[in-house]
Structures are given as C-alpha cells and as structure tokens.
Amino acid sequence: MLCACGCGHRVSLLVPDSHQVTEQVGMATVRPSIAVCDAPCKSHYFITAGEVEWLRAFDPATSKAVMHKQIERHAQRDPTRLPFLQRVLAALGRAWTWLASFGPPR
C-alpha cells in the first residue's frame, strides 16, 4: 500500500507477522499502528475502517528501534540458518553410524 500521507512511499506491511488486517463494512482496519520509518515523512497512523487516524511521529531513536526490531525478526527467519541445522543432523548421523559400528548389544 502507499503511505497515507500522500508522499508516494510504498509501505510494506508484514502481514500477519506484525500487522493484522481486518475488514469492517468493506473497509480495511490495520492493527497495530503503521509507522513509516523508512521514508522521509516518518508518518505514523492507524487505519480504522478505511479512515486514517494520525499519531505522533516517532522520534529518530524510536523509529530506529522499530526498524531494528523488524530487521531482527526477519533475521530470525533467515534461511541461512538451515545449513547449521543440517550440519548438526549430519554430525548426529555420523555419531549414530559410529555407535552402530560396535554392533548390537548382546
């Protein structure tokens, strides 16, 4: 969606990761508030049944913290973590092979 202030910035909502979009009488309601941290306008607003409800803009420190949190959340889902898991599974597999080489217990 485009920023409600009209600056033309494309706001990407991370649905349903951070935002819930519900419908009321055909109009969208977005919760929690939308903070446009990565555009010069720094808009911050609620959308309730298609109506924009303006909130105080975050100060630079807060908007930075919000951005950081979002990036962190994405990093946690980073698929580059998968090779680590695969290495652990491979190590477990090798350990199992090593144990099995002693033969079944008598």
**Which residues form the interface with Zn ion (CB under 5 A)?**
3, 5, 7, 9, 41, 43
Please state the closest distance from residue 37 (CB atom) to Zn ion, in A: 11
The whole-angstrom separation of Cα 35 and Cα 11 is 9
Name the residue nearer to Zn ion (CB basis): 5 or 67. 5
Residue whose CB is less far from Zn ion, 38 or 70: 38
Residue 10 CB, shortest distance to Zn ion, in Å, is 10
Distance CA 67, CA 59 (A): 12
Looking at the Cβ atoms of 7 and 18, the one nearer to Zn ion is 7
What's the min distance (Å) between Cβ of 63 and Zn ion?
A: 13
Strands (E), the chain: 20-24, 27-35, 44-48, 51-54
- Pick the closer one to Zn ion by CB: 9 or 19: 9
Q: Give the residue from 33, 20, 15 showing the smallest Cα distance to 4.
A: 33
Per-residue CA distances from 49 to 23, 38, 52, 65 (Å): 7, 25, 8, 28
To the nearest whole angstrom, how small is the minimum distance from the Cβ of residue 50 to Zn ion? 17
